[in-house]
Amino acid sequence: MRGERDNTNRLAMYSDAVFAVIVTIMVLELKAPEEPAFSALWPLWPTFISYAVSYLFIAIIWINHHYLMRFVGAPTLRLIWINFVHLFMVSLLPFATAWIARTRLASSPVVFYAGLFVCIDIAYNFFEREVLVRADATQVSERTRRIARRRSLGVLASFTIAMLVAFVAPRLAFGLVCTALILHLRPEARGSRS
């Protein structure tokens, strides 16, 4: 039993380290203006907003990941690989964030950004499903599993819609991405018990 917990802790610590590096890389994109006036900050609003949304998204991913790690027994090779794929997708966020910031929410970068959220969410859904399928029924009720599945599919649908909307209305699509994130603010869905 101790070996299982040690392996689960190693998986969690590795994931935590990757999240920390991603946030660090992303913050390096925030460049201070040369002018010593508050008015010099105004042109940077797309960078600040895209950074804040991406940071919030990474925080939400980490919180949900942390929540799910409670239910992992001995990590299987399949679960480890799913986690690696998920972390790889998340590691692309600094690039996507910088692109939408530099282009001031232009269509193609927002399509890419929303598409990346789709990919991250698909990987997360696989991770969540793998963890919950293996979790003991006393740890996670069937109702909780059902609520988690519906919520995950709803968020995935929202990101997909945002990606399609971004072709014609990138700012609206960016707003849809932000709205979809709200569904994952709480790892445990309301009305569920675990």
Q: Could you tell me how far CA 73 lies from the centroid of its own chain?
A: 23
**10 occurs within a structural domain:** yes
pLDDT for the residue 191: 46
**97 occurs within a structural domain:** yes
**30 occurs within a structural domain:** yes
pLDDT for the residue 194: 45
Residues 89 and 116: beta-carbon distance below 8 Å: yes
Instruction: Work out how many domains the chain is built from and give that number.
Output: 1
Question: In this structure, how many other beta carbons lie within 10 angstroms of the beta carbon of residue 169?
Answer: 14
- Report pLDDT digits (tens) over 83-123: 999 999 999 999 999 999 889 889 999 999 999 999 999 99
**Helix, strand counts (H, E) of the chain:** 7, 0
Residue 133 exposure: Cα atoms within 13 Å on the Cβ side: 10
**69 occurs within a structural domain:** yes
pLDDT at 7 over 60: yes
**192 occurs within a structural domain:** no
**187 occurs within a structural domain:** no
**188 occurs within a structural domain:** no
Q: What is the CATH number of the domain that holds 15?
A: 1.20.1410
- Report pLDDT digits (tens) over 106-117: 999 999 999 999
**70 occurs within a structural domain:** yes
Distance CA 180, CA 175 (A): 9
Q: Which domain holds residue 68?
A: 2-182
Residue by residue, DSSP assigns 99-168 as HHHHTTS-HHHHHHHHHHHHHHHHHHHHHHHHHHHHS-TTTS-HHHHHHHHHHHHHHHHHHHHHHHHTTT
Of the segments 22-31, 40-49, 166-175, which one has the largest average pLDDT value?
166-175
pLDDT at 56 over 60: yes
SS3 per residue for 67-89: HHHCCCCCCCHHHHHHHHHHHHH
Q: What percent of the chain has pLDDT over 70?
A: 93
**Considering the entire predicted model, what is its pTM?**
0.86
Question: In this structure, how many other beta carbons lie within 10 angstroms of the beta carbon of residue 101?
Answer: 21
Residues 59-91 as b/e (b if ≥16 CB within 10 A, e otherwise) read: ebbbebbeebbebbbebeeebeebbebbbebbe
Tokens in use for 161? 């819609």
